[in-house]
Chains A and B, each alone.
Chain A
Amino acid sequence: MNTENYEIVPLRHYGRWVSGAVVIFLLVLIVRAFVQGQIDWPVIGEFFMAPVLIKGLGNTIIITLLAMIMGIALGVIFAVMRLSDNPVTRWFAGFYIWIFRGTPIYLQLLIWFNLALVFPTVNLGFWEGRMVDIMTPFFAALLGLGINEGAYMTEIVRGGILSVDQGQLDAASSLGMTRLQAMKRIVLPQAMRVIIPPMGNEFIGLLKTSSMASAIAYTELLHRAQMIYFVNAKVMELLIVATGWYLIVVTILSSLQTVIENRFAKGQTRNSAPSLLRNVVRIMSARRGMAGGAR
């Protein structure tokens, strides 16, 4: 039988059409509900760029950034302690993780903020001050979020370090590197590849957790939004504005994460990883090639 000239009929996916239609229908319902709901849309537009809120957004970003830096630093230090040969430092690192990972962040923030009740004054020998002056909402939020983050980062960094082959340390040692040099130049850069993806998640998580700091009167984004709706009673409108800003920042962070991941992936694939730009160019030219072929 000669089938050479037969037309090929592609399989029809009727199920996909049905499920697609259902999803679109539900989406329309949700959008319609919000449009008809009692939302004062102009208020959202009005407050989206309001300086009060932008200031709050700035504070959110600052506290997230600083707490993350603190978390990374603590994470590296405690991970190295956890992996050291010294049983005391190993135990101490375990204890740190146990405490700060085992209690709610909300509770930790309250403890830092109220530390003055236990230690009314701070005496560093050369300098003395009242705790209430030092433990501002900002400082309490930084310590609370940063030290908590450090506990999670410790486990992430430790996993990264353990993922690097022992042979790498042997090779570095045989070149005469000290353990510290080997850690800095050989082990950590390779561990980064394993550390970055979960670290990106931590960063995004921290950005959202920082809203907890509104409980101790740190004037971050959500706190500002609340302050405004306490006055003008536009509760939903301001919460939507805050939602929008969180999503915008998270989207930017996610794309940043991809860029950093690509950077640390170097040398890990047989073909050097193409950059985002090169990928786009490649896809575009492939499209053009296809279109040309059709013509």
Chain B
Amino acid sequence: MNNRPPMLQAQNVHKSYGRNEILKGIDLEVATGEVMCLIGPSGSGKSTFLRCINHLERIDQGRIYVDTKLIGGRIHKGRIYEQREAEICRQRMDIGMVFQHFNLFPHMTVLQNLIEGPVRVKKENRESAVERARKLLDRVGLKHLEASYPKQLSGGQQQRVAIARSLAMAPKLMLFDEPTSALDPELVGEVLAVMKDLAESGMTMVVVTHEIGFARGVADQVVFMDEGVVVEAGAPTKIFANPENDRTKGFLVNVGK
């Protein structure tokens, strides 16, 4: 598996809002099947970087490749042409994203949330989409709730539905943007369990999280970001047991390891 090109490759990614530079040159690589956890204080640019990967934010400088394809641009005769909306949408279909606040569609039932992407975007026929959606709901343990509306579910259930909704598009890469930060403490576990199961099934994942326990147990690679740069990266055992950088040490002490 080492010979395969990385699923995600970021080179010198810069992003600013006005004069405020959020990302100051990020270089990262995630191999296929690998789980990378991004940790760091709030405002360090983790979430912004995640949103750049599926082009929810346009980067100012640098390159991001997902499955060897350049995100947001097309290389042609020594130039990079910015892509049209339709092409960007096609790239996004391969990249699932789970949000801090779930962002389920409140006017649709759980099942409708799951088949919306496959039916409307991928033009899959309805029956097969429904069948796959039910399997996914079963996988996240919510088969019995397919006719409910999101507001009728607990936060943990909503986030599991959101994960299933992303999986329904059969993505190659999954992005998680602080998926448990908006949850009551007793609901965090059920979401992490689903994510762990997903990681074990071989999904490539980039997870922005404050759950150090999850990072320690599931991640292949932990990246510590602060003030728009990657401060330290490596295996969880190394980062958590022997952090080299003082900022990493300080952060880990603050989150209580």
Contacts and interface: CB of A to CB of B under 8 A. Distances in A.
A167 interface: yes
Given A177-B89, A178-B89, A266-B149, A171 B104 contact: yes
A27 B97 CA distance: 65
A186 B51 CA distance: 20
A268 B106 contact: yes
A174 B89 contact: no
B169 A178 contact: no
A283 interface: no
Contacts of B92: 173-176
Q: Report which residue of A170, A176, A177 has the largest number of chain B beta carbons within 10 angstroms of its beta carbon.
A: A176
Interface string B128-150: 00000000000000000000011
A269 B107 CA distance: 10
A174 B54 contact: yes
B105 A176 contact: no
A189 interface: yes
A99 B165 CA distance: 45
A272 interface: yes
Contact of B121 (A168, A181, A190, A268): A181
Contacts of A174: 54, 56, 92, 95-97, 166
Contacts of A40: none
Contacts of A189: 107
A186 B116 CA distance: 10
Interface string A260-280: 000010111111100000000
A267 B107 contact: yes
A154 to B, nearest CB: 23
A287 interface: no
Nearest to B113: A171
B162 to A, nearest CB: 8
Contact of B169 (A175, A270, A271): A175
Interface residues of B, number: 34
Nearest to B96: A174
The CB with the most chain B CB atoms within 10 A, among A173, A190, A269, A270, is that of A173
Contacts of B149: 266-267, 272
A266 B107 contact: yes
Nearest to B97: A174
A263 to B, nearest CB: 11
Given A178-B85, A269-B151, A173 B56 contact: yes
A272 B148 CA distance: 9
A175 B97 CA distance: 8
Contacts of A168: 103, 105
Nearest to B108: A267
A185 interface: yes
A233 B164 CA distance: 73
Contacts of B99: 167, 170-171
Nearest to B147: A272
Interface string B189-223: 00000000000000000000000000000000000
Nearest to A186: B105
A269 B149 CA distance: 9
B87 to A, nearest CB: 11
A151 B150 CA distance: 35
Contacts of A173: 54, 56, 89, 92
A84 to B, nearest CB: 14
B169 A176 contact: yes
Given A171-B99, A190-B107, A268-B151, A179 B85 contact: yes
Contact of A267 (B51, B101, B106, B117): B106
Contacts of A177: 89, 117, 120-121
A167 B151 contact: no
Interface in A44-82: none
Interface string B50-78: 01001010000000000000000000000
Contacts of A268: 106-107, 151
Contacts of A170: 51, 56, 97, 99, 103
Interface centre among A168, A174, A178, A272 (most CB of B within 10 A): A174
Contacts of B152: 270-272
Interface string A161-173: 0000101101111
Given A176-B169, A272-B152, 11 more contacts: A167-B103, A170-B103, A171-B99, A171-B105, A171-B162, A173-B89, A174-B92, A174-B97, A267-B149, A269-B151, A270-B151
Interface of A: 165, 167-168, 170-179, 181, 185-186, 189-190, 264, 266-272
13 contacts: A167-B99, A170-B99, A171-B103, A173-B89, A174-B56, A174-B92, A175-B92, A175-B116, A178-B86, A267-B107, A268-B106, A271-B152, A272-B149
